[in-house]
A and B are shown apart, each in its own frame.
Chain A
Amino acid sequence: MEENVKLEKENCPVSPSVDSDQQDNEERALSVFASEKNEDLTALVLVLIVTFFVLLFTKWLA
């Protein structure tokens, strides 16, 4: 995490107040996604794909 934050600091030099806000937010919500909605939707879609393949191989084709 510290390494991560250090990396962010090196890469995105910003003013101290914005920096601390950003650091705080990042620790609360480290995510590669632009928004929480995107993250949730992607998780749901991936799970449905996984579920479809599991059903396919363990039930419908088994």
Chain B
Amino acid sequence: MASSDLGRPSNVPVWILSGLLLLYGALVASGALTPMLKALHVHKQVDLMEILGFTFGGIGILTAMLRSTRMNKPMTNLDTFVLETIPGILFIVMLAMGIRWIAEPIVVMMSKSLVPVLGFKIHKVLNLNYVVLGILVGIIITNSWGIPKFAASGVKTARFVLKMGVILLGARYSFAELAKLGMVSVWMIGFFVLGTVFFVLFLGKVFKQPKSMTGVLSAGMGVCGVSATVACAPVVKARCSEMAYTIGTILGFGILCMFAFPTIGKIVGMNATQFGAWAGTGILNSAQVAAACLAFNAVDIKTLKVGEIFNITRVLFLPIIVLVLASWYGKAAGQKLSFKEVVIDKFPIFIIGFLLLFAMSSFGLFSPPGHYKGKYLDFSYNQRTEVTPEELVVLKNAKLEGLTPEEQAAYNDLVKQHQIAGNFEDRDNKDMFDATARKRMAGLESILAREKGKEITISSDVKSAVKHAVKQVHKKSKTIVTLTDAMVWFFAYGLIGLGMQITRKSIAQAGGWPLVMGAISGVTKATLSFIVVMYFVKDVVLK
């Protein structure tokens, strides 16, 4: 229920919020804010700032006008679901804009300025992005001033918007990612995902924790962080505080892993592939996987690639985990559920939406089917993808020493063909053409990585030309980039709303048990995957 017919919240805040949004849009459009936006490195998003400012400002004005005509009249569905909800939506949108375009850039800038003192970027280590900032801002508002009366109803849209984010998540992945991994790797990932879920459910029983807490933590620890937590929370009827606890536990455990994994990997002498597989399985958050892989080995690009692919493949197990949890929660609540009831009646429609977008993405509706998060490789001959004539002269005259035969061959071919490509005579056989081109690209990427690791020395001109050639074949689907932007906004909005539903009381009720269960299951998974990786994953994982 949004409010009652006894009296609606005042209209003044709606006028003020709408005015502020319109003013912001106007200031951005006039260019008055450009110096500040440039300083914050968000000036490229000026178009979106104008669209959001004017659209939501306009909606706000319209709402305020309609509300003023309906004051002291009985509530109808229009009032409950639209007019009383929009003020809260405007409030959260404004907060989300503040976080994405002011708070987050300021945190990044402060973190970068602290690098000389600390030696690392603290925002990366603590994962201080919009996810954490959004939840924190929500918690602070609720526990200090309280949710403003006019926004109370709008906060109830948070879970709905988070679901929209989860559906859009499906667009970022494609079935080609699974096909790239060998069957052994898929089994290994599946075993650890399901194994962790069941292990956390078992721990929950041992420690006598609420079913909702155990369920949502198992999904978060088993699959991967924030998105899995959000996706599985409605299935097990989790409280907002339980979701926040799960997200906090995952990120906190990831911070420890980021430091511990590279050190352990080096001590036991893992190779690049083994470490990538271990980090991708044991660490949950994808940004933390990337950080650990780079800390272990910044020279061999295979570490990061294997780590990333192991990490993202877990997301594809999400629908299976939802099914498992729906069945488990039904049983735990004392209901006897048949297979049909679990699969058809209890299966959340928004997860079907996730699968629908995943299918659309896999069939190549948004981007060529082999893409990863909208990025794909295009090796077709094209004059626009060639290096510049000046760069070609630099490449021809350079004398490189210390290259491996593969790197040298890739370099020679770049000079010959002016771009990264397969053999001209293979152009009718796309698979063979692309496979050769991929090999050459890997050779050039290896040159850049070894130069970064100071294993070889090349001039800055040559480095820049090789970088340019590599960049030219990396394409990005505009469609998926835009859909991802929308997803990020939905998550930012939803997480602020989620934070607003977390009271001190609810945090105290959850106690420290989620942290204990998260730590036990995380360490167990890291140890088991360590053993599996050491004994079963030797070198070639990617097909």
Give the B-binding residues of A (Cβ under 8 A): 1-4, 7-8, 10-12, 27-33, 36-37, 39-44, 46-48, 50-51, 54-55, 57-59, 62
Q: Looking across the interface, which residue of chain B has its beta carbon closest to that of A57?
A: B482
In the assembled complex, 24 residue pairs joining A and B whose CB atoms fall closer than 8 Å, in A order, are A1-B501, A1-B503, A8-B1, A12-B4, A27-B501, A29-B234, A30-B501, A31-B156, A31-B159, A32-B81, A37-B349, A43-B163, A43-B164, A44-B167, A44-B353, A47-B167, A47-B357, A51-B168, A51-B171, A57-B482, A58-B482, A59-B366, A59-B479, A62-B478
Residue of chain A at shortest CB distance from B9:
A7
Pick the interface stretch among B146-154, B187-195, B255-263, B306-314.
Answer: B146-154
Q: Are B152 and A4 in contact (CB under 8 A)?
A: yes
- A1–B159 CB distance below 8 A: no
Mark out the residues of chain B between 1 and 50 whose CB falls within 8 Å of any chain A CB in the assembled complex. 1-4, 6
Closest 10 A/B residue pairs (Cβ): A40-B349, A11-B4, A3-B146, A44-B353, A43-B163, A58-B478, A4-B152, A47-B167, A58-B479, A40-B350
Whether the Cβ atoms of B149 and A3 lie closer than 8 Å is yes
Task: Give Cα A40–Cα B234 distance, bound, in whole angstroms.
Answer: 10
Return the CB mask of B479-515 against A: 1 if under 8 Å, else 0. 1001100100000000000001111001000000000
A54 in contact with B146 (CB, 8 Å)? no
Q: Complex Cα distance A19/B127, Å?
A: 39
Q: Give A42 to B156 CA distance when docked, in angstroms.
A: 14
User: Which of B54-62, B237-245, B526-534 forms part of the interface with chain A?
Assistant: B237-245
Q: Of the candidates B152, B160, B349, which one forms a contact with A31 in the assembled complex, judged by CB atoms under 8 Å apart? A: B160
Closest CB-CB distance, B417 to chain A, in whole Å? 29
Using A28-B212, A40-B163 as known contacts, say yes or no to A1 and B479 having CB atoms under 8 A apart: no
B149 contacts which chain A residues (CB < 8 A)?
A: 3, 7
**Neighbouring A residues of B156 by C-beta, 8 Å:** 30-32
Are A47 and B353 touching (Cβ within 8 A)?
A: yes
B350–A54 CB distance below 8 A: no
Flag whether B219 is at the interface (Cβ < 8 A): no
| Interface residue B218 (Cβ < 8 Å from any Cβ of A) | no
B249 within 8 A of A: no
Q: Is B348 part of the contact surface with A, judged by Cβ < 8 Å?
A: yes
**Pair A54/B483 contact, Cβ less than 8 Å:** yes
Q: Considering the complex, give the chain B residue whose CB is closest to the CB of A54.
A: B482
For A27, list chain B residues within 8 Å (CB): 239-240, 501, 506
Q: How big is the B interface, by class?
A: 35 or more
B485 to chain A, nearest CB (A): 9
Contacts of A39 in B (CB 8 A): 159-160, 163
Q: A1-B503, A4-B155, A30-B501 are in contact. Are A36 and B234 (CB under 8 A)?
A: yes
Pairwise interchain contact B147-A3, C-beta atoms closer than 8 A: yes
Residues of chain A contacted by B479 (CB below 8 angstroms): 54-55, 58-59
Chain B positions within 8 Å of A47 at CB level: 164, 167-168, 353, 357
By beta carbon, the residue of chain A nearest B238 is: A28
Interfacial residues of chain B within 304-340, with CB under 8 A of chain A in the complex? none
Closest to A32 in B: B156
Q: What chain A residues lie within 8 Å of B350 (beta carbons)?
A: 40, 43-44
- CB closest chain-A residue, reference B4: A11
Chain B residues lying within 8 Å of A33, measured Cβ to Cβ, are 160
Task: Give 6 new A-B contacts, CB below 8 A, not counting A1-B147, A39-B160.
Answer: A11-B4, A27-B501, A27-B506, A43-B350, A47-B164, A58-B479
> What 0/1 pattern do residues 220 to 264 of B give for CB contact below 8 A with A?
000000000000001001111000000000000000000000000
- Contact among A10, A29, A43 for B353, CB-based, below 8 A: A43
Measured between beta carbons, the chain A residues less than 8 angstroms from B365 are 55
Does B273 touch A at the CB level, under 8 Å? Answer: no
Q: Are A29 and B1 in contact (CB under 8 A)?
A: no
Contacts of B167 in A (CB 8 A): 43-44, 47
Q: Are A28 and B164 in contact (CB under 8 A)?
A: no
- A44 / chain B contacts, CB cutoff of 8 Å: 167, 349-350, 352-353, 356
| Across-interface contacts of A54 in B (CB, < 8 A) | 479, 482-483, 486
Interfacial chain A residues near B146, Cβ < 8 Å: 2-3
Q: Which of A36, A46, A51 is within 8 Å of B357, CB to CB? A: A51
Complex formed: what's the CA distance from A10 to B8 in Å?
A: 12
Within 8 A of A (CB), among B63-88: 80-81, 85
What separation, in Å, do the CA atoms of A36 and B157 have in the docked complex?
Answer: 12
Find chain A residues with CB under 8 A from B502 CB.
1
Chain B residues within an 8 Å CB radius of A30: 155-156, 158-159, 240, 501
**Does B209 make an interface contact (CB < 8 A)?**
no
Report yes or no: A1 in contact with B142, Cβ–Cβ below 8 A.
Answer: yes
Q: Which residue of A lies closest to B503 (CB)?
A: A1
CA of A37 to CA of B239, assembled, Å: 19
Least CB distance, B127 to chain A, in whole angstroms: 25
CA distance A40 to B197 in the complex (A): 24
* Residues of chain B lying within 8 A (CB to CB) of residue A62: 478
